[in-house]
Structure 1
Amino acid sequence: MEKALQRVDVVLDDTLADVSPRLRWRDGPAHMSERRNSFTNDASGEMDVSRQRHLRTQISQGKKKKLLKIVSRRWEEKGFEVKEQDDGRPSLLSEASDGCIAKIDVGGSGDVYISVGVGAVSSGPSGDIAGEEGDSFPKAPNGAPDYTPDLRDPYWSK
């Protein structure tokens, strides 16, 4: 599981390495999801390990596609193959040969998040990984984490 988590965090860090001007973000908690046989519902002895990164920098409507192009190019350089792309939303899903899946997506309130996940041979319950809680988020009016971007950038937010 530790190797899988390292892989996830390296892909997240590398995804935004070439983005200029730099973007700011908050990391969500690392999460494990137990894989189960779809017929018997028995645990398979494998887990999916994932984490989301939520951009704090506001990305204007006109720059969202540009950001996705930069991310797509970076992922392709790192051996990922684009599997799904939606220019209307916009979103992009790519997969590496080791099964690592990376996705960048624009949420309903304009928030942009990157999600990376990979499988691991491990057993245990599904849920957040202890010690990998990520960053703290402000609270939304309903008490849930508020993922709304809260920082403006002279380039990305125009």
Structure 2
Amino acid sequence: MSAALVAGCSADDAGSKGKAGEIQDPYKAGKHLDVLLNGVTSAVKPSLKSRDGATETQQLNHNVSNKPDGTVIVSKTRYIRTKVARSKVDALANSMQGYCKGEGYKITSVNPKEPSFVALTSDGYSLRFSVGAPGNVYLDAASPPARDPGTSGDDTLSGMEGDTFPKDAKGQPDIMPDLEDAYWSH
């Protein structure tokens, strides 16, 4: 999911190492994703309601051997439950992008048609604001490479399963906005 934001990174990329020069703990990275997501969503006024997906890991492979290199990308998606009217999506994107710029994040990609943007922090984390169909607004956050927690493949970090979602007609998690707001929904 959001690991694609930093695909191609290696454990040697800037921002991937902690103070002691070691690859960071994946649980610490997961907690930092919460800090980033909380910061950008709390900057929006009036406030929005949201649900968090699980904090997941995606194994990274060595560039030459294409075998696991002992690191993962840690990622999380925050789904906005508040229905955002099409006429307000630009204002929401601008509010979140303004927060990111104010925090010193580098805006690396902007698509005004959707709208969407990607912001990178100085320590290698990324945030992506996107709008899906129909009106599904979400934020993805991803870490720089972190130490593999010892699980295989794409996995949810234990204790970071995210919120419980209602099921849609197909039995899948219903991530669609479901709450009206006097400002954002009209």
Q: TM-score range by the shorter chain?
A: over 0.9
Q: Does 1:140 align with 2:168?
A: yes
Flag the structure with higher strand content: 1
5+ residue gaps, structure 2, are 1-25
Please give the residue correspondences for 1:4-23 in structure 2 after superposition, counting only pairs within 5 Å: 4-23=29-48
Shift, 1:38, TM fit = 3.5
Shift, 1:2, TM fit = 2.0
Are 1:27 and 1:135, in contact at CA under 8 Å, matched by a contact in 2?
yes
- Alpha-carbon separation, structure 2, partners of 1:121 and 1:86: 29
Aligned to 1:28: 53
Q: Does 1:127 align with 2:155?
A: yes
Equivalent AA in structure 2 for residue 155 of structure 1: Y
Kindly tell me the number of residue pairs found equivalent between the two proteins.
Answer: 158
The structure 2 residue matched to 1:38, chosen from 29, 49, 63, is 63
- Alpha-carbon separation, structure 1, partners of 2:167 and 2:63: 36
Are 1:53 and 1:115, in contact at CA under 8 Å, matched by a contact in 2?
yes
- Alpha-carbon separation, structure 1, partners of 2:146 and 2:75: 14
Equivalent AA in structure 1 for residue 109 of structure 2: E
Equivalent AA in structure 1 for residue 83 of structure 2: Q
Q: Does 1:62 align with 2:72?
A: no
Shift, 1:119, TM fit = 2.1
How much is the aligned-residue C-alpha RMSD, in angstroms? 1.1
- Alpha-carbon separation, structure 2, partners of 1:121 and 1:75: 23
Are 1:51 and 1:117, in contact at CA under 8 Å, matched by a contact in 2?
yes
What TM-score do you get using the length of structure 1 for normalisation? 0.95
Q: Does 1:104 align with 2:132?
A: no
Shift, 1:121, TM fit = 3.2
Equivalent AA in structure 2 for residue 136 of structure 1: T
1:100-127 Cα distance to aligned partner (Å, 9 max, x none) = 0100100112110001010243123231
- Alpha-carbon separation, structure 1, partners of 2:52 and 2:107: 23
What TM-score do you get using the length of structure 2 for normalisation? 0.81
Aligned to 2:179: 151
